Amino acid sequence: QMTINRLKSLRLAKGYSCQKMADKMGITKSTYNKKENGKMSLSLIDAQKISGILGRSIDDIFFTDTRAGDETK
């Protein structure tokens, strides 16, 4: 659940809609929504695409421990 919230917050901080993310990834908005909400699993390729779109590392998006309070990595 933490990863989902982080992905959504990073997407929103970038000013991107789900539709814009879907377009950039080459998938439908419905598929993107399912992936962001954890109803469909993300592949490594998905993670790499999201990383490139958001300009953040895969670790930062999906593995950063937000409880540590280190948002600068």
Residue 44 in this model has a pLDDT that exceeds 70: yes
Q: How confident is the model at residue 65 (pLDDT cuts 50, 70, 90)?
A: low
- Residue 73: what pLDDT? 40
Question: pTM here?
Answer: 0.80
Q: Nearest 10 degrees: CA dihedral of 60, 61, 62, 68? A: 50
Measured CA to CA, the distance from residue 55 to residue 63 in angstroms comes to 15
pLDDT in tens, 28-40: 999 999 999 989 9
